[in-house]
Structure 1
Amino acid sequence: MTPETLSPQFSMFKDALARRLISRPGFADESSDPSELEDFTLYLADEVWPILPEPLRAATYYSRDSVPPVDDLSLDSTPPGFADTLTSCGLSDDADGAMALLRRVLDDYVVEACAPPPVWSKTRTTECEICERAVPLTYHHLIPREVHARALKKKWHPEEMLNSVAWLCRPCHSTVHRVASNEELARSWYTVEFLLEREDIQRWRAYASKQRFGVRRG
């Protein structure tokens, strides 16, 4: 995969496509293999993504005024494989139907990509996002405030992501700051999902999840 297809925008486009496909009668059910759906959707998204205008592929809330209207887009350069695949799988009647489906997917994508950034203080959870205990929580800046200026200068993250937070109990919060520096957190471990990929955080999580809050042992 190219760096561009690892972008948040590509993921949003691929997920919008997946939602449209899943909604088609008979396409997928509870017995369907999720990995096959992922591979199928990724193939179709990879076919289309490179031919889309750059402002569309880079769409965000802050660039929304430069995003071209989906109805005005020319999709003539869409690789034939996209329509052929949808038609052969019974997901569209013909090439025109495939292009109509693609425009609906693009409409969904633009709505999501250009949505206002969340008010992070309203994302509060009831359980720690690492140990999953229902205990008093603190908020952890996933991109530490001390490196915000550097993150913008180096273009590690868009400005709207700087105040993203995770809701963690105090022990988990302290552990996160022990395993990596602020710059490392900002560059490599800036989501809960990324943090949970670390073996040291996994080991801590296994331990912390079994601890009863407020109970001293011994």
Structure 2
Amino acid sequence: MARPTTDQCQLCQRRVALTFHHLIPRKMHRRTYFRKHFDRAQLNEGIWVCRRCHRGIHKLYDEMTLAKQFASLTALQNDPAMKKHIAWVARQKGD
């Protein structure tokens, strides 16, 4: 996990402290399906998001759903429920 290249959340675009979100949750890395279909680098890919966006991601979806349906920044950005959450977070001040 490399350091973020910006201080801007990749979802809501706010400039706040960031956390690393694994696109394939770490809990799934030991499962046979994911070990067979993804290499270590792919399993460790992620995005830098603010705490509010990160909490929202995990509140909306369980780890298996995230791993199978939302394993890319684009998939998260295009999801209607996430869009609604991101819009709300973008209006918030600070973290």
- Normalised to the residue count of structure 2, the TM-score between the two structures is 0.88
Q: Could you tell me how far 1:160 is from its partner in structure 2?
A: 1.9
Distance 1:181 1:192 in 2: 17
Partner SS, residue 130 of structure 1: coil
1:164 aligns with 2:45: yes
1:129 aligns with 2:15: no
1:179 aligns with 2:60: yes
Partner SS, residue 149 of structure 1: coil
- Alignment RMSD (CA, Å): 1.4
The number of residue pairs the alignment matches comes to 93
Identical-pair percentage = 31
Q: Could you tell me how far 1:122 is from its partner in structure 2?
A: 3.5
Q: Is the 8 A contact 1:140 1:165 kept in 2?
A: yes
Q: Deviations for 1:19-50, whole angstroms, at most 9, x for unmatched residues?
A: xxxxxxxxxxxxxxxxxxxxxxxxxxxxxxxx
Q: 1:152 aligns with which of 4, 21, 35?
A: 35
Q: 1:193 aligns with which of 74, 80, 85?
A: 74
Q: Deviations for 1:40-85, whole angstroms, at most 9, x for unmatched residues?
A: xxxxxxxxxxxxxxxxxxxxxxxxxxxxxxxxxxxxxxxxxxxxxx
Structure whose residues are more often helix by fraction: 1
| 1:41-190 correspondence to structure 2 within 5 Å | 120-150=1-31, 151-153=34-36, 155=37, 157-190=38-71
Per the alignment, residue 90 of structure 1 pairs with none
Structure whose residues are more often strand by fraction: 2
Where structure 1 has 5 or more consecutive residues not aligned to the other structure, the ranges are: 1-119
- Normalised to the residue count of structure 1, the TM-score between the two structures is 0.40
